[in-house]
Amino acid sequence: MSSFKGPRGTQDILPGEVEKWQYVESALTDLCYRYNYKEIRTPVFEHTELFQRGVGDSTDIVQKEMYTFTDRGDRSLTLRPEGTASVVRSFVQNKIYGSPNQPTKLFYSGPMFRYERPQQGRMRQFVQFGVEALGSDDPAIDAEVIALAMNAYKELGLSSLKLVLNSLGDKKSRSRHRQALVEHFQPYKEELCEDCQSRLATNPMRVLDCKKDREHESMHTAPSILDYLNDESRAYFEAVKSILDRMGIEYEIDPNLVRGLDYYNHTAFEIMSNAKGFGAITTLSGGGRYNGLVEEVGGPATPGIGFALSIERLLMALEAEGITLPIEDKLECYVVSLGEEAEQEAAAIVYQLRQAGIQVDKDYAGKKMKAQFKAADRLNAHYVLVLGEDELTNGQINVKNMETGEQETIALSTIVEHMKRELKGDA
RNA sequence: GCGGCUAUGGUGAAGUGGUUAACACACCGGAUUGUGGCUCCGGCAUGCAUGGGUUCAAAUCCCAUUAGUCGCCCCA
Protein backbone atom coordinates (compact mmCIF):
# COMPACT_ATOMS: atom_id res chain seq x y z
CA MET A 1 0.00 0.00 0.00
CA SER A 2 1.62 3.19 -1.12
CA SER A 3 0.47 6.53 0.15
CA PHE A 4 -0.89 9.31 -1.99
CA LYS A 5 1.00 12.30 -3.20
CA GLY A 6 -0.57 15.42 -4.57
CA PRO A 7 -0.60 15.56 -8.36
CA ARG A 8 2.56 16.77 -10.00
CA GLY A 9 2.97 20.52 -10.01
CA THR A 10 0.52 21.11 -7.16
CA GLN A 11 1.37 22.17 -3.65
CA ASP A 12 -0.17 22.29 -0.22
CA ILE A 13 0.08 25.59 1.53
CA LEU A 14 0.36 24.73 5.19
CA PRO A 15 -0.07 26.73 8.38
CA GLY A 16 3.06 28.80 8.80
CA GLU A 17 3.14 29.47 5.08
CA VAL A 18 -0.51 30.25 4.51
CA GLU A 19 -0.28 33.37 6.69
CA LYS A 20 2.04 34.89 4.11
CA TRP A 21 -0.52 34.23 1.43
CA GLN A 22 -3.26 35.79 3.49
CA TYR A 23 -1.13 38.82 4.19
CA VAL A 24 -0.21 39.34 0.56
CA GLU A 25 -3.72 38.72 -0.72
CA SER A 26 -5.20 41.16 1.70
CA ALA A 27 -2.58 43.77 0.87
CA LEU A 28 -3.38 43.39 -2.81
CA THR A 29 -7.10 43.64 -2.19
CA ASP A 30 -6.64 46.83 -0.18
CA LEU A 31 -4.52 48.26 -2.93
CA CYS A 32 -7.17 47.52 -5.54
CA TYR A 33 -9.83 49.27 -3.54
CA ARG A 34 -7.55 52.26 -3.26
CA TYR A 35 -7.38 52.34 -7.05
CA ASN A 36 -11.13 51.73 -7.12
CA TYR A 37 -11.08 48.27 -8.67
CA LYS A 38 -13.81 45.85 -7.57
CA GLU A 39 -13.48 42.13 -7.18
CA ILE A 40 -15.00 39.68 -9.62
CA ARG A 41 -15.13 35.92 -9.15
CA THR A 42 -15.54 33.67 -12.15
CA PRO A 43 -15.59 29.86 -12.42
CA VAL A 44 -12.34 27.93 -12.56
CA PHE A 45 -13.50 26.12 -15.68
CA GLU A 46 -14.97 27.46 -18.89
CA HIS A 47 -15.93 26.23 -22.31
CA THR A 48 -12.74 25.25 -24.09
CA GLU A 49 -13.65 27.44 -27.01
CA LEU A 50 -13.44 30.58 -24.89
CA PHE A 51 -9.72 30.08 -24.45
CA GLN A 52 -9.16 28.97 -28.01
CA ARG A 53 -10.76 32.16 -29.24
CA GLY A 54 -9.55 34.46 -26.49
CA VAL A 55 -6.01 33.37 -25.74
CA GLY A 56 -5.44 32.26 -29.32
CA ASP A 57 -5.41 28.93 -31.06
CA SER A 58 -1.78 29.10 -32.04
CA THR A 59 -0.39 29.91 -28.59
CA ASP A 60 1.54 27.38 -26.54
CA ILE A 61 -1.01 27.71 -23.78
CA VAL A 62 -3.84 26.50 -25.97
CA GLN A 63 -1.80 24.08 -28.01
CA LYS A 64 -0.15 22.10 -25.28
CA GLU A 65 -0.80 23.41 -21.80
CA MET A 66 -4.52 23.25 -21.15
CA TYR A 67 -6.30 20.89 -18.82
CA THR A 68 -9.18 20.03 -21.11
CA PHE A 69 -11.80 17.40 -20.41
CA THR A 70 -15.22 16.33 -21.56
CA ASP A 71 -17.96 16.36 -18.98
CA ARG A 72 -20.83 13.91 -18.70
CA GLY A 73 -22.94 16.09 -20.94
CA ASP A 74 -20.30 15.79 -23.65
CA ARG A 75 -19.17 19.41 -23.34
CA SER A 76 -15.52 20.27 -23.79
CA LEU A 77 -14.42 22.21 -20.74
CA THR A 78 -11.05 23.57 -19.70
CA LEU A 79 -9.55 24.52 -16.36
CA ARG A 80 -8.71 28.19 -16.82
CA PRO A 81 -5.08 28.76 -17.82
CA GLU A 82 -5.38 32.52 -17.22
CA GLY A 83 -7.93 35.01 -15.97
CA THR A 84 -8.58 37.59 -18.65
CA ALA A 85 -10.72 35.46 -20.95
CA SER A 86 -13.14 34.62 -18.14
CA VAL A 87 -13.42 38.21 -16.98
CA VAL A 88 -14.12 39.39 -20.51
CA ARG A 89 -16.66 36.60 -20.99
CA SER A 90 -18.41 37.65 -17.81
CA PHE A 91 -18.28 41.30 -18.83
CA VAL A 92 -20.11 40.40 -22.03
CA GLN A 93 -22.49 37.82 -20.58
CA ASN A 94 -23.62 40.08 -17.75
CA LYS A 95 -23.71 43.13 -19.99
CA ILE A 96 -21.48 45.02 -17.62
CA TYR A 97 -20.67 47.28 -20.55
CA GLY A 98 -24.12 48.77 -19.96
CA SER A 99 -23.26 49.94 -16.47
CA PRO A 100 -23.10 53.71 -16.07
CA ASN A 101 -19.72 53.49 -14.41
CA GLN A 102 -17.17 53.10 -17.15
CA PRO A 103 -14.47 52.02 -17.55
CA THR A 104 -15.21 48.82 -15.70
CA LYS A 105 -12.36 48.23 -13.30
CA LEU A 106 -12.09 44.71 -11.93
CA PHE A 107 -9.67 42.51 -10.07
CA TYR A 108 -9.57 38.79 -9.41
CA SER A 109 -7.46 36.26 -7.62
CA GLY A 110 -7.46 32.51 -7.85
CA PRO A 111 -5.93 29.32 -9.10
CA MET A 112 -4.96 28.88 -12.74
CA PHE A 113 -3.94 25.64 -14.40
CA ARG A 114 -1.31 24.94 -16.99
CA TYR A 115 0.14 21.58 -17.93
CA GLU A 116 3.84 22.37 -17.89
CA ARG A 117 6.98 20.81 -16.56
CA PRO A 118 7.08 22.02 -12.97
CA GLN A 119 9.96 24.09 -11.66
CA GLN A 120 10.53 26.49 -8.86
CA GLY A 121 8.08 29.31 -9.59
CA ARG A 122 6.22 27.31 -12.16
CA MET A 123 3.42 25.11 -10.93
CA ARG A 124 0.63 23.33 -12.75
CA GLN A 125 -1.78 24.93 -10.36
CA PHE A 126 -0.73 28.43 -9.42
CA VAL A 127 -2.40 31.52 -8.14
CA GLN A 128 -2.75 34.60 -10.22
CA PHE A 129 -3.87 37.95 -9.04
CA GLY A 130 -4.94 40.23 -11.85
CA VAL A 131 -6.63 43.43 -12.80
CA GLU A 132 -8.67 44.34 -15.87
CA ALA A 133 -9.90 47.76 -17.01
CA LEU A 134 -12.48 47.54 -19.75
CA GLY A 135 -14.02 50.30 -21.75
CA SER A 136 -11.33 52.94 -22.01
CA ASP A 137 -8.55 53.57 -24.47
CA ASP A 138 -7.19 56.50 -22.52
CA PRO A 139 -3.43 56.09 -22.18
CA ALA A 140 -3.86 57.17 -18.58
CA ILE A 141 -5.61 53.92 -17.80
CA ASP A 142 -2.64 52.00 -19.19
CA ALA A 143 -0.44 53.99 -16.87
CA GLU A 144 -2.82 53.37 -13.99
CA VAL A 145 -2.70 49.62 -14.44
CA ILE A 146 1.08 49.66 -14.64
CA ALA A 147 1.26 51.93 -11.62
CA LEU A 148 -0.97 49.61 -9.64
CA ALA A 149 1.24 46.66 -10.51
CA MET A 150 4.40 48.47 -9.45
CA ASN A 151 2.69 49.82 -6.38
CA ALA A 152 1.76 46.31 -5.29
CA TYR A 153 5.36 45.16 -5.24
CA LYS A 154 6.76 48.33 -3.74
CA GLU A 155 4.17 48.32 -1.01
CA LEU A 156 5.28 44.88 0.08
CA GLY A 157 8.85 46.09 0.25
CA LEU A 158 10.37 44.90 -3.01
CA SER A 159 12.96 47.13 -4.57
CA SER A 160 14.90 45.05 -7.09
CA LEU A 161 12.36 45.57 -9.80
CA LYS A 162 12.56 46.25 -13.47
CA LEU A 163 9.63 47.43 -15.51
CA VAL A 164 9.96 46.58 -19.17
CA LEU A 165 7.73 48.28 -21.68
CA ASN A 166 6.94 47.90 -25.33
CA SER A 167 4.25 48.69 -27.83
CA LEU A 168 3.01 45.99 -30.12
CA GLY A 169 0.99 48.48 -32.14
CA ASP A 170 -2.34 47.60 -33.63
CA LYS A 171 -3.07 44.42 -35.56
CA LYS A 172 -1.90 45.90 -38.83
CA SER A 173 1.41 47.15 -37.49
CA ARG A 174 1.95 43.81 -35.91
CA SER A 175 1.40 41.75 -39.00
CA ARG A 176 3.48 44.07 -41.15
CA HIS A 177 6.28 43.73 -38.65
CA ARG A 178 5.93 39.99 -38.57
CA GLN A 179 6.13 39.85 -42.32
CA ALA A 180 9.24 42.01 -42.29
CA LEU A 181 10.92 39.80 -39.73
CA VAL A 182 10.31 36.65 -41.71
CA GLU A 183 11.69 38.29 -44.82
CA HIS A 184 14.68 39.60 -42.92
CA PHE A 185 15.70 36.31 -41.32
CA GLN A 186 14.80 33.95 -44.14
CA PRO A 187 18.17 34.32 -45.94
CA TYR A 188 20.04 33.47 -42.70
CA LYS A 189 17.77 30.69 -41.66
CA GLU A 190 20.39 27.96 -41.99
CA GLU A 191 22.80 29.89 -39.77
CA LEU A 192 20.37 30.27 -36.90
CA CYS A 193 19.86 27.79 -34.11
CA GLU A 194 17.22 25.08 -34.32
CA ASP A 195 14.88 26.86 -31.99
CA CYS A 196 15.03 30.02 -34.04
CA GLN A 197 14.32 28.13 -37.21
CA SER A 198 11.07 26.92 -35.77
CA ARG A 199 10.37 30.24 -34.07
CA LEU A 200 10.62 31.90 -37.46
CA ALA A 201 7.49 30.07 -38.45
CA THR A 202 5.59 30.18 -35.18
CA ASN A 203 6.56 33.46 -33.54
CA PRO A 204 9.23 35.37 -35.46
CA MET A 205 9.49 38.08 -32.82
CA ARG A 206 10.91 35.52 -30.44
CA VAL A 207 13.96 35.16 -32.65
CA LEU A 208 14.99 38.62 -31.54
CA ASP A 209 15.61 37.67 -27.94
CA CYS A 210 17.26 34.33 -28.60
CA LYS A 211 20.22 33.83 -26.29
CA LYS A 212 22.24 31.71 -28.68
CA ASP A 213 21.96 33.83 -31.77
CA ARG A 214 22.32 37.14 -30.01
CA GLU A 215 25.59 37.91 -31.73
CA HIS A 216 24.50 36.95 -35.20
CA GLU A 217 24.91 39.84 -37.64
CA SER A 218 21.29 39.64 -38.73
CA MET A 219 20.15 40.53 -35.24
CA HIS A 220 21.57 44.03 -35.35
CA THR A 221 19.86 44.91 -38.59
CA ALA A 222 16.54 43.26 -37.81
CA PRO A 223 13.44 45.42 -38.13
CA SER A 224 12.07 46.74 -34.83
CA ILE A 225 8.36 46.79 -34.04
CA LEU A 226 8.74 50.41 -33.07
CA ASP A 227 9.56 51.27 -36.68
CA TYR A 228 6.35 49.65 -37.81
CA LEU A 229 3.98 51.51 -35.54
CA ASN A 230 1.59 53.78 -37.38
CA ASP A 231 1.27 57.39 -36.23
CA GLU A 232 -1.65 56.66 -34.00
CA SER A 233 0.03 53.76 -32.23
CA ARG A 234 3.17 55.76 -31.82
CA ALA A 235 1.32 58.70 -30.30
CA TYR A 236 -0.49 56.38 -27.94
CA PHE A 237 2.75 54.80 -26.76
CA GLU A 238 4.31 58.23 -26.27
CA ALA A 239 1.37 59.30 -24.14
CA VAL A 240 1.64 56.23 -21.92
CA LYS A 241 5.35 56.85 -21.42
CA SER A 242 4.79 60.49 -20.69
CA ILE A 243 2.29 59.73 -17.96
CA LEU A 244 4.63 57.17 -16.41
CA ASP A 245 7.35 59.82 -16.46
CA ARG A 246 5.12 62.23 -14.60
CA MET A 247 4.33 59.52 -12.07
CA GLY A 248 8.03 58.99 -11.56
CA ILE A 249 7.84 55.35 -12.54
CA GLU A 250 11.01 54.17 -14.22
CA TYR A 251 10.87 51.80 -17.13
CA GLU A 252 12.99 50.33 -19.82
CA ILE A 253 11.88 50.05 -23.42
CA ASP A 254 12.44 46.63 -24.91
CA PRO A 255 11.30 46.38 -28.53
CA ASN A 256 11.72 42.63 -28.26
CA LEU A 257 9.27 42.21 -25.44
CA VAL A 258 6.61 39.86 -26.72
CA ARG A 259 3.73 38.44 -24.84
CA GLY A 260 2.67 34.88 -25.39
CA LEU A 261 -1.02 35.45 -25.70
CA ASP A 262 -2.58 36.44 -29.00
CA TYR A 263 -4.89 39.09 -27.67
CA TYR A 264 -2.28 41.69 -26.82
CA ASN A 265 -1.76 44.87 -28.82
CA HIS A 266 -0.38 48.35 -28.13
CA THR A 267 0.99 48.57 -24.60
CA ALA A 268 2.76 45.45 -23.35
CA PHE A 269 4.77 45.24 -20.16
CA GLU A 270 6.48 42.90 -17.76
CA ILE A 271 7.83 43.37 -14.30
CA MET A 272 10.92 41.38 -13.46
CA SER A 273 12.96 40.85 -10.35
CA ASN A 274 16.67 41.58 -10.36
CA ALA A 275 17.13 39.80 -7.05
CA LYS A 276 19.67 37.02 -6.94
CA GLY A 277 18.64 33.42 -6.85
CA PHE A 278 15.88 33.75 -9.37
CA GLY A 279 17.28 31.40 -11.97
CA ALA A 280 15.51 31.22 -15.27
CA ILE A 281 12.31 32.72 -13.99
CA THR A 282 12.55 36.43 -13.56
CA THR A 283 9.14 37.58 -14.68
CA LEU A 284 6.94 38.48 -11.75
CA SER A 285 4.01 39.72 -13.74
CA GLY A 286 2.94 40.71 -17.20
CA GLY A 287 0.15 42.43 -18.94
CA GLY A 288 -0.94 44.67 -21.73
CA ARG A 289 -3.71 46.08 -23.81
CA TYR A 290 -6.17 43.86 -25.58
CA ASN A 291 -8.41 45.97 -27.76
CA GLY A 292 -10.51 43.60 -29.83
CA LEU A 293 -10.80 40.80 -27.29
CA VAL A 294 -14.27 41.77 -26.17
CA GLU A 295 -15.52 41.56 -29.77
CA GLU A 296 -13.75 38.25 -30.16
CA VAL A 297 -15.77 36.92 -27.27
CA GLY A 298 -19.01 38.25 -28.73
CA GLY A 299 -19.42 41.64 -27.09
CA PRO A 300 -19.51 45.20 -28.36
CA ALA A 301 -16.27 46.84 -29.46
CA THR A 302 -14.58 47.63 -26.15
CA PRO A 303 -10.94 48.40 -25.45
CA GLY A 304 -9.27 46.79 -22.47
CA ILE A 305 -6.03 46.49 -20.55
CA GLY A 306 -4.92 44.34 -17.67
CA PHE A 307 -2.12 42.50 -15.98
CA ALA A 308 -1.64 39.47 -13.81
CA LEU A 309 0.93 38.51 -11.24
CA SER A 310 1.73 35.22 -9.65
CA ILE A 311 1.53 35.06 -5.89
CA GLU A 312 4.09 32.23 -5.85
CA ARG A 313 6.65 34.38 -7.62
CA LEU A 314 5.82 37.39 -5.52
CA LEU A 315 6.55 35.35 -2.41
CA MET A 316 9.76 34.07 -4.01
CA ALA A 317 10.83 37.62 -4.74
CA LEU A 318 10.19 38.65 -1.15
CA GLU A 319 12.30 35.77 0.03
CA ALA A 320 15.06 36.58 -2.44
CA GLU A 321 15.23 40.11 -1.09
CA GLY A 322 15.16 38.87 2.47
CA ILE A 323 11.90 40.61 3.31
CA THR A 324 9.91 39.19 6.18
CA LEU A 325 6.25 40.05 6.33
CA PRO A 326 4.91 41.38 9.63
CA ILE A 327 3.03 38.26 10.60
CA GLU A 328 2.45 37.55 14.24
CA ASP A 329 1.81 34.11 15.48
CA LYS A 330 0.26 34.39 18.92
CA LEU A 331 -2.40 33.00 21.14
CA GLU A 332 -4.13 35.28 23.60
CA CYS A 333 -4.88 32.69 26.19
CA TYR A 334 -4.26 29.05 27.13
CA VAL A 335 -6.08 27.19 29.85
CA VAL A 336 -4.14 24.65 31.88
CA SER A 337 -6.10 22.24 34.00
CA LEU A 338 -5.32 19.48 36.49
CA GLY A 339 -7.61 16.59 37.09
CA GLU A 340 -10.75 15.39 35.40
CA GLU A 341 -13.17 17.68 37.15
CA ALA A 342 -11.06 20.74 36.43
CA GLU A 343 -10.60 19.74 32.83
CA GLN A 344 -14.33 19.64 32.26
CA GLU A 345 -14.72 23.04 33.85
CA ALA A 346 -11.79 24.32 31.76
CA ALA A 347 -13.59 23.25 28.58
CA ALA A 348 -16.55 25.36 29.63
CA ILE A 349 -14.38 28.35 30.49
CA VAL A 350 -12.65 28.11 27.14
CA TYR A 351 -16.06 28.24 25.47
CA GLN A 352 -17.13 31.28 27.48
CA LEU A 353 -13.93 33.15 26.72
CA ARG A 354 -14.26 32.39 23.04
CA GLN A 355 -17.80 33.66 23.01
CA ALA A 356 -16.45 36.86 24.56
CA GLY A 357 -14.17 37.25 21.56
CA ILE A 358 -10.98 36.00 23.14
CA GLN A 359 -8.63 33.64 21.34
CA VAL A 360 -8.18 30.61 23.57
CA ASP A 361 -6.97 27.04 23.47
CA LYS A 362 -6.40 24.20 25.89
CA ASP A 363 -4.77 20.78 26.00
CA TYR A 364 -6.54 17.81 24.49
CA ALA A 365 -3.75 15.28 24.81
CA GLY A 366 -3.98 14.51 28.53
CA LYS A 367 -0.66 16.18 29.18
CA LYS A 368 0.85 16.83 32.56
CA MET A 369 0.88 20.38 33.81
CA LYS A 370 4.47 20.96 32.85
CA ALA A 371 3.83 19.77 29.33
CA GLN A 372 0.74 21.97 29.13
CA PHE A 373 2.86 24.97 30.04
CA LYS A 374 5.40 23.97 27.43
CA ALA A 375 2.65 23.81 24.85
CA ALA A 376 1.36 27.23 25.90
CA ASP A 377 4.86 28.59 25.56
CA ARG A 378 5.27 27.09 22.14
CA LEU A 379 1.96 28.57 21.03
CA ASN A 380 3.14 31.97 22.16
CA ALA A 381 0.32 32.32 24.66
CA HIS A 382 0.16 35.68 26.43
CA TYR A 383 -1.83 34.43 29.36
CA VAL A 384 -2.17 31.03 30.94
CA LEU A 385 -5.13 30.31 33.18
CA VAL A 386 -4.51 27.56 35.70
CA LEU A 387 -7.40 25.59 37.09
CA GLY A 388 -6.70 22.79 39.57
CA GLU A 389 -8.73 20.97 42.18
CA ASP A 390 -7.95 23.61 44.82
CA GLU A 391 -9.06 26.52 42.70
CA LEU A 392 -12.16 24.65 41.65
CA THR A 393 -13.12 24.11 45.28
CA ASN A 394 -12.49 27.77 46.11
CA GLY A 395 -14.21 29.09 43.02
CA GLN A 396 -10.99 30.67 41.82
CA ILE A 397 -8.60 30.54 38.90
CA ASN A 398 -4.99 31.64 38.50
CA VAL A 399 -4.08 34.02 35.71
CA LYS A 400 -0.44 34.05 34.70
CA ASN A 401 1.10 36.60 32.39
CA MET A 402 3.66 34.61 30.43
CA GLU A 403 5.83 37.57 29.57
CA THR A 404 6.24 38.97 33.05
CA GLY A 405 5.72 35.69 34.88
CA GLU A 406 3.33 37.42 37.27
CA GLN A 407 0.36 35.51 38.53
CA GLU A 408 -2.82 36.51 40.30
CA THR A 409 -5.83 34.70 41.63
CA ILE A 410 -9.23 35.69 40.28
CA ALA A 411 -12.75 34.65 41.21
CA LEU A 412 -13.93 32.10 38.69
CA SER A 413 -17.20 33.96 38.17
CA THR A 414 -15.42 37.07 36.94
CA ILE A 415 -12.78 35.47 34.75
CA VAL A 416 -14.35 36.43 31.41
CA GLU A 417 -14.65 40.10 32.39
CA HIS A 418 -11.18 40.05 33.86
CA MET A 419 -9.61 38.66 30.68
CA LYS A 420 -11.50 41.10 28.50
CA ARG A 421 -10.06 43.92 30.57
CA GLU A 422 -6.56 42.43 30.52
CA LEU A 423 -6.52 42.01 26.78
CA LYS A 424 -8.17 45.27 25.85
CA GLY A 425 -4.98 47.25 25.68
CA ASP A 426 -3.14 44.53 23.82
CA ALA A 427 -1.80 45.48 20.43
C1' G B 1 7.71 18.01 -24.69
C1' C B 2 13.64 17.62 -24.51
C1' G B 3 18.45 17.32 -21.59
C1' G B 4 21.47 17.31 -16.71
C1' C B 5 21.47 16.35 -11.38
C1' U B 6 19.06 14.30 -7.09
C1' A B 7 15.72 10.98 -3.80
C1' U B 8 17.92 8.00 3.80
C1' G B 9 13.16 9.55 10.23
C1' G B 10 8.97 15.39 11.48
C1' U B 11 13.64 18.43 9.74
C1' G B 12 18.99 18.78 8.41
C1' A B 13 22.21 15.00 7.36
C1' A B 14 26.35 10.56 7.80
C1' G B 15 26.81 5.87 5.58
C1' U B 16 28.77 4.29 -1.24
C1' G B 17 28.08 -4.10 -0.97
C1' G B 18 28.74 -7.52 4.67
C1' U B 19 25.52 -8.84 11.13
C1' U B 20 21.45 -4.17 15.63
C1' A B 21 21.24 2.51 9.73
C1' A B 22 25.81 7.72 12.93
C1' C B 23 25.02 12.61 14.68
C1' A B 24 22.15 17.18 15.39
C1' C B 25 17.47 19.72 15.81
C1' A B 26 12.35 18.89 16.80
C1' C B 27 8.99 15.84 19.51
C1' C B 28 7.57 12.54 23.84
C1' G B 29 8.74 10.88 28.92
C1' G B 30 11.60 11.32 33.54
C1' A B 31 14.88 14.03 37.11
C1' U B 32 11.11 18.25 39.52
C1' U B 33 3.18 14.12 42.94
C1' G B 34 0.38 21.79 40.75
C1' U B 35 3.42 25.97 36.77
C1' G B 36 7.02 27.46 30.58
C1' G B 37 11.68 29.21 28.13
C1' C B 38 18.05 26.46 31.21
C1' U B 39 20.47 21.62 32.56
C1' C B 40 20.88 16.24 32.80
C1' C B 41 18.94 11.24 31.55
C1' G B 42 15.94 8.08 28.46
C1' G B 43 12.71 7.15 24.09
C1' C B 44 11.91 8.04 18.98
C1' A B 45 13.24 5.03 10.78
C1' U B 46 6.17 0.78 8.52
C1' G B 47 14.06 0.08 7.58
C1' C B 48 16.96 3.97 3.36
C1' A B 49 10.98 7.22 -3.02
C1' U B 50 8.34 2.83 -5.62
C1' G B 51 8.88 -1.70 -8.58
C1' G B 52 12.12 -5.11 -10.70
C1' G B 53 17.17 -7.17 -11.39
C1' U B 54 22.59 -8.52 -10.16
C1' U B 55 24.89 -10.91 -5.68
C1' C B 56 25.95 -15.83 -0.67
C1' A B 57 24.88 -10.63 0.94
C1' A B 58 22.26 -3.95 -1.41
C1' A B 59 20.46 2.12 1.66
C1' U B 60 24.95 1.16 -1.07
C1' C B 61 25.62 -1.79 -8.19
C1' C B 62 22.02 -1.99 -12.77
C1' C B 63 17.11 -0.92 -15.11
C1' A B 64 12.29 1.17 -15.03
C1' U B 65 8.74 4.25 -12.72
C1' U B 66 7.43 8.31 -9.70
C1' A B 67 8.78 12.88 -7.59
C1' G B 68 11.96 17.11 -6.76
C1' U B 69 15.51 20.40 -8.85
C1' C B 70 18.29 23.02 -12.77
C1' G B 71 18.56 24.37 -18.01
C1' C B 72 15.70 24.53 -22.85
C1' C B 73 10.78 25.72 -24.54
C1' C B 74 7.23 28.91 -22.75
C1' C B 75 5.04 31.94 -19.21
C1' A B 76 2.56 34.31 -14.09
Q: Is the pLDDT confidence value at A328 over 80? A: yes
For A340-363, what is each residue's pLDDT tens digit? 999 999 999 999 999 999 999 999
| Predicted-assembly ipTM surpassing the 0.85 threshold | yes
Q: Is A393 annotated as a binding residue?
A: no
For the CA of A200 and the C1' of B72, the distance in angstroms is 17
A219 or A250, higher pLDDT: A250
Over chain A, what is the mean pLDDT? Answer: 91
φ/ψ region of A257 (left if φ > 0, alpha if ψ in -120 to 50, else beta) reads beta
Residue ranges per domain, chain A? 18-170+230-320, 331-424
Q: Is A117 annotated as a binding residue?
A: no
For A353-394, what is each residue's pLDDT tens digit? 999 999 999 999 889 999 999 999 999 999 999 999 999 999
Q: Is the pLDDT confidence value at A212 over 60? A: yes
For chain A, how far is it from start to end, CA to CA, in angstroms? 50
Q: Is the pLDDT confidence value at A220 over 50? A: yes
Neighbouring residues of A187: CB distance < 8 A, sequence distance ≥ 6: none
Q: Is A128 annotated as a binding residue?
A: yes
Q: Which of residues 189-218 of A touch strand B (CB under 7 A)?
A: 195, 199, 203, 206, 210-211
pLDDT band at A189 (very low <50, low <70, confident <90, very high): confident
For the CA of A5 and the C1' of B66, the distance in angstroms is 10
Q: Is A82 annotated as a binding residue?
A: yes
Q: Which of residues 82-121 of A touch strand B (CB under 7 A)?
A: 82, 114, 116-121
For the CA of A6 and the C1' of B19, the distance in angstroms is 39
For A69-110, what is each residue's pLDDT tens digit? 999 999 999 999 999 999 999 999 999 999 999 999 999 999
Mean pLDDT of the A118-142 span: 95
Does any strand B atom come closer than 7 Å to the Cβ of A41? no
Question: In the prediction, which pLDDT does A240 show?
Answer: 97
Mean pLDDT of the A293-322 span: 94
Question: In the prediction, which pLDDT does A186 show?
Answer: 84
For the CA of A149 and the C1' of B2, the distance in angstroms is 35
Does any strand B atom come closer than 7 Å to the Cβ of A285? yes
Question: In the prediction, which pLDDT does A279 show?
Answer: 65
Q: Is the pLDDT confidence value at A427 over 50? A: no
Specify the pTM: 0.91
Question: In the prediction, which pLDDT does A400 show?
Answer: 95
For the CA of A206 and the C1' of B56, the distance in angstroms is 61
Question: In the prediction, which pLDDT does A410 show?
Answer: 95
At A145, the amino acid letter reads V
Does any strand B atom come closer than 7 Å to the Cβ of A405? yes
Does any strand B atom come closer than 7 Å to the Cβ of A337? no
Neighbouring residues of A193: CB distance < 8 A, sequence distance ≥ 6: A210, A212, A213
For the CA of A322 and the C1' of B38, the distance in angstroms is 31
For residue A387, what are the β-bridge partners?
Answer: A337
A18-170+230-320 sits in which CATH class? alpha beta
A397 or A57, higher pLDDT: A397
Does any strand B atom come closer than 7 Å to the Cβ of A370? yes
Mean pLDDT of the A259-276 span: 88
Does any strand B atom come closer than 7 Å to the Cβ of A296? no
Q: Is the pLDDT confidence value at A237 over 50? A: yes
Q: Is A259 annotated as a binding residue?
A: yes
Does any strand B atom come closer than 7 Å to the Cβ of A330? no
Q: List the A67-70 sheet strands across, edge first.
A: A45-47, A76-79, A67-70
Share of chain A above pLDDT 70, in %: 97
Q: Which nucleotides of B are covered by protein (CB under 7 A)?
A: 1-3, 27-30, 32-37, 46, 50, 66-76
Q: Which of residues 237-276 of A touch strand B (CB under 7 A)?
A: 258-261, 270
Q: Is A10 annotated as a binding residue?
A: no
- 3-state secondary structure at position A248: coil
Share of chain A above pLDDT 90, in %: 71
Contact between A32 and A39 under an 8 Å Cβ cutoff? The reply is yes
Q: Is A132 annotated as a binding residue?
A: yes
Question: In the prediction, which pLDDT does A1 show?
Answer: 41
For the CA of A11 and the C1' of B25, the distance in angstroms is 25
Does any strand B atom come closer than 7 Å to the Cβ of A355? no
pLDDT band at A422 (very low <50, low <70, confident <90, very high): very high
Report how far residue A225's alpha carbon sits from residue A356's, in angstroms, rounded to the nearest whole number. Answer: 64
Q: List the A360-362 sheet strands across, edge first.
A: A360-362, A331-337, A381-387, A396-401, A407-411
User: A194-202 vs A171-185: helix axis angle to the nearest 10?
Assistant: 150
**CATH number attached to the domain at A331-424:** 3.40.50.800
User: What does the CA dihedral A104, A247, A109, A102 come to, rounded to 10 degrees?
Assistant: 0
Does any strand B atom come closer than 7 Å to the Cβ of A388? yes
Question: In the prediction, which pLDDT does A275 show?
Answer: 81
For A9-66, what is each residue's pLDDT tens digit? 999 998 888 999 999 999 999 999 999 999 999 999 999 999 999 998 888 899 889 9
